[in-house]
Each structure stands twice: as C-alpha cells, then as structure tokens.
Chain A
C-alpha cells in the first residue's frame, strides 16, 4: 500500500506553506490563483460554514486503482509501490483522456505550450525515494499534512476520530472513495459540504470500463467465426444454384434468377 498523506482539515490554518513549498521545489511562481493547474499541484481552498472559516488542501489523491493510469493509452501514468501515482511525459501523446477520467479532476494541462505536458502532484516521488519528506509535509507548521505509511495513517485517523469525536465528522474520506486513495482526509463537517463527492463514489471507476473491455476477446472470436460461417453457408448455396443453372442449359430469364437468388440471400 505504500505511503500517503493524512490531511487533517481541522488543523489547517490556511497559511499556504504547503503551496509555497510545492511551488518552490518545482520552480513555479507563486500565484493568487487557487485552482489546481499546471502551476499549482496543490491549492488551499477556503469555505465559510456557520461563521467558521474552513481551510482545506486539494491535491492528487493518489488512488489505489487510479483512473488516470487505467485510461492512458500509452501507460504514461503508473501507481508506484511507494504510493505515488506518477506521470512520464516522454510517453504521453497528449490525448487528455486522463483529465476527463480522473474522478477528482486533478491532472491539468500546459495549454500554451508547443510541447505540452500533463501536470499533477507526484507526492514528491524523487524525495521520498531518498527517504525525505514531501516538500509540503515538511513545510506544514501545524501537522495538518501528515506524511507516512498508509496503514499507520489509517490508525492515526481512527484514533483521532475516537479520542475527539466532537471535533470531526465521523468519516475518513479516502478509505473507500474511488476504490481507496493514498491521501486521507479528516474533516470537521460532512465531506459534501466542501464539495467532496460521496454518493456513488465508493467504487473503483476503471471497473466500469474493464467490465466491457474484458469481453473483447470473446466478442472477436465469436463474431469472427460467426461471420465466416455465415459467408460460407450463403456462398455455398449460391454456388450450388449456379451449378443448377449451368446444367439446365445456361439460359435463364431474369425473373427466375431473381427468385433463385432471393431464397439464397
């Protein structure tokens, strides 16, 4: 299962240290734009619910069964054993199916480039391979972004829910969503209030495609044989009719032929 994040929204103060750290490490400019984009792998969102300001992060969820990897025709996305879902620009042909398919709308595009790439958080794959923390987790001053082993994070989340039921909405977002994600959220309110989808979301989406795709070999063999058989039978009958015609003196009015043929068809 590898590594992942636990984002505790109740601890987030909206200082944007994670955003800044992420920009810095990727050489991206700081922006006033709070949407995910080719220049924002993570953003801080702000929503006011019952007079209370809630800040929360958005980033790639690093799904266990990622839609982006499932749909990419050239396998440019890959779920690594360490946890991150990473992208290989050298394979990408830019069809943007990954952007359509991602249930969390994470992959973003370099629209102005002549040689565009897809962009998204890669859980700082290079850093964690060296045993370092992802830049955003290192920068977070409150511990709202916690990086660690997935199982460990689940345990911590469950403990927090148990010890402080007042503080949280009793749900770990990401345990089941999109078939489970490496990024988990603890929230003070119902996830849907922050625009996190719940309804019909506790399933892996690639299965919808695979249900159909796995039938292809059957369809091909069956209909191939069927069509060949069909052709063979029909053709055989026409041949036989032709023999009849030839033996009966080669002459035929067009009417007779029509009758003969239509029964063959």
Chain B
C-alpha cells in the first residue's frame, strides 16, 4: 500500500466517463435555464409545492449522508477507539465534500442565492432554518480544519501538523455539537406544520428521529464508501473494522425502530398504517426495506462477514434513509397541498450533476492526497517501517504522535 506515483495515462473515454460527461452537459444546460429564466422555468415547483427535490434530496439527504464525518470523528477521537483510524479520513473527506455540495446545491434552490450570506448579519434565533444555516456553516469550517492534516502531509509540512494534532479535540467536539444540532434541526423544520404533514410522518419526535437515522446512515455510508474505494483504488478492505461498524448500525437501527414504535404508540397513530393510500405504501417501503430488512441482515454474522452482502445491506439502509427524507419533505406534504409534485428533468439533471461532481472530486482527492495511507506517511520514519502486523507498536506510536 505505497503511494503510487500518479503516472499520466493517455485519456480514454470509458463508459463511466461518458456517463459523467453526459450528466455534466445536461446539468450545465439546466443551470443556464435555472439562473436565466428562474426557478419556475427549470423546476416543477409551484405556489402549492414550494419545496421539491433540491431541498428533499440535495439538502436533507446530502447533510444526512455526510453524517459519517462526525460519527467517525467522535468514535476515534472522543471515544478514543483508535483502531478505526484508517477509515476516519475517507469519512471526513466525504463529509467535507458532502457539505460543500449541499451549499452548492442551495445556491440553485434559493430564489436569491446572492443573499445566502444574510443569516450572518440578519438574525432570527426563532427560526430553525437560521440555526441550520449557522450550524452547516460552522461545521463545514470544522471539517476544513479536520481535513488540514491531509493537505499538510501531502506537502510534508510536519511542524504545523504537530500543532494541529496537539489541539485536535476541541474542534472535534465542536463538530459533533454542530452536527447533532443541525442533523436534528432538519427534522425540526417540519414541526411548525402539524396540520400539513401527513400523520405517518409528523411527530413531535421528528428532531430525534432525524438525528438517530442520520447517525445510522453515517456509519452505513462509511461502509459503503470503504467498499467502493477498495474496489476502485485496488486497496485492501478494512473488513474487521467494517464488520464492527455494521454492528453499530444494527444497534442504532434498533434504537430508531424502538423510537418509531414509541412515537406511534404515543400518538396512537396505528390505524394510519393500514389505510389504502400511496403514503401508506411508501411508509411501509421505508420501514421494511430501509430499516427492518437491513436490521435483520446486518444482525446476521454470516452476512456481516461477506463483504458483498454487507455492501448491499448498507445500501438498503442508505436507500431507506433517502426514501424517508423524501417522504417527509415531499410525500407527506402532497395530500395537504392537493398538488402532485414530480421533479422536472432539469431538477433531476442538476441533482445528478452534483452527485457526479461529488464522486469525481472524491476520486481525484483520494488519488492525489494521502487519504487511505494516512498512517503510512512518515512522521517518524524509523518507527513507521514496522510492518502492520505488529499492531501493538503501531498503536503506541499513533498515540504518541497524537498526544
């Protein structure tokens, strides 16, 4: 697992590259329509349906899927479970890119994107959106701080590296705080419309449910991306670590399930589960395929040990999470609004473009920066050469460099 020198290969148009370019072209065209002819021309949004795919997917899902950054940071730095260290960097990178893309997507969705900075000076502490805005901003800053070591290592700047490592804990704690706040607040956004949100989803527990599900999906994403990276970069899969993370996912999904049951019991909303309506089916899909099934799968040791099965199980968790956020932000509002909303192709193309840009950026950074080889970069060259089998020494060294 050396850092291979990046050899310049002649450009080849592979299948995925052509898909990427097609998406990019469609996205750029839609961008032009969006900014020159307004939201109405590019989207299927209307006075009846002011929030659509961009809020539901790009923002609500985007922020949630990037939750791996704070959960892994908490695990490694606060709970001090150092063995997860090899996968903390990719998680932080995903989170950092995720948040940048969420902000990028917001520029499309906001009617007046050039005023995006207004919450800095125009305060309304009663507004959940205000709080989310601040937290996202501050947490993105924290992520940038957490990401600095990667850049410094790349350019072999060991002195500032030491300084950063000596003061690692405060930013990590702040990061966890900001994340907890805005992950839950995305749920609080909908607290103010009890009469509009379909009762399968409206709950006073929305912030808690949003938070818990984001933690679960954060870990699921870490497994997901480790699997993909292992394949894409031909690197060794940290299987024992991922298996352990899968157990954490099981634990959190169970917690989520219990909360959901409690919530239904408290609101006495059971009968909504059996009404013949689209909402009901989507709710069942979300709970059965996105929570219950992966819960059973991941609780099975045989599946956890099998990396492909593990991959598909966490993919279920991720899809369930996406479905949940889309349900809360779109499905649940449909019956009240009386309008049917389905995103226009331009909305979809811009979302696809943003996702594709995320993948491309991840790939490029992972190739050019020490993301996966974090512990291999020589800070103390002589000791670093001890093979990985002697884990004990490794650990001691890690702790030394950290403290």
The answer to the question of B177 belonging to the interface, with a C-beta cut-off of 8 Å to chain A, is yes
The answer to the question of B207 belonging to the interface, with a C-beta cut-off of 8 Å to chain A, is yes
State in angstroms the CA–CA spacing of A38 and B39 once bound together: 14
Residues of chain B from 30 to 44 with CB closer than 8 A to chain A in the complex: 35-41
A residues less than 8 Å from B81 (CB atoms)? 265
Contact (Cβ within 8 A) A216 B40: no
Contact for A114 among B38, B77, B124, B169, CB less than 8 A:
B38
Contact for B118 among A67, A74, A115, CB less than 8 A:
A74
The answer to the question of B9 belonging to the interface, with a C-beta cut-off of 8 Å to chain A, is no
Contact (Cβ within 8 A) A70 B192: yes
A residues less than 8 Å from B177 (CB atoms)? 220, 223-224, 227
User: In the complex, how many angstroms separate the beta carbon of A118 from the nearest chain B beta carbon?
Assistant: 8
State in angstroms the CA–CA spacing of A201 and B195 once bound together: 8
State in angstroms the CA–CA spacing of A204 and B63 once bound together: 30
B residues less than 8 Å from A101 (CB atoms)? 192-193
Contact for B129 among A71, A219, A256, A265, CB less than 8 A:
A71
User: In the complex, how many angstroms separate the beta carbon of A194 from the nearest chain B beta carbon?
Assistant: 16
Contact (Cβ within 8 A) A100 B123: no
* Also in contact, A257 and B126, with CB within 8 A (given A73-B133, A94-B112, A265-B81): no
State in angstroms the CA–CA spacing of A261 and B393 once bound together: 13
* Also in contact, A219 and B181, with CB within 8 A (given A71-B129, A91-B118, A231-B169): yes
B residues less than 8 Å from A220 (CB atoms)? 177, 181
Contact (Cβ within 8 A) A103 B195: yes
A residues less than 8 Å from B309 (CB atoms)? none
Q: Which residue of A lies closest to B189 (CB)?
A: A97
The answer to the question of B130 belonging to the interface, with a C-beta cut-off of 8 Å to chain A, is yes
Contact (Cβ within 8 A) A230 B79: yes
User: In the complex, how many angstroms separate the beta carbon of A239 from the nearest chain B beta carbon?
Assistant: 7
* Also in contact, A92 and B115, with CB within 8 A (given A223-B180, A252-B392): yes
User: In the complex, how many angstroms separate the beta carbon of A71 from the nearest chain B beta carbon?
Assistant: 5
User: In the complex, how many angstroms separate the beta carbon of B179 from the nearest chain A beta carbon?
Assistant: 11
Contact (Cβ within 8 A) B126 A206: yes
Among the stretches A134-142, A167-175, A207-215, the one at the interface with B is A207-215
9 A-B pairs within 8 Å (CB atoms) are namely A38-B47, A71-B192, A93-B118, A94-B113, A205-B193, A219-B181, A227-B78, A254-B392, A257-B391
User: Which 9 residue pairs are nearest across A and B when measured between Cβ atoms?
Assistant: A94-B111, A111-B40, A93-B115, A257-B392, A73-B129, A73-B130, A96-B50, A75-B124, A94-B112
Binding site for B on A (CB under 8 A): 35-38, 67, 70-75, 91-97, 99-101, 103, 108-116, 197, 200-201, 205-206, 208-213, 216, 219-220, 223-224, 227-228, 230-231, 234-235, 238-239, 242, 245, 252-254, 256-258, 261, 264-265
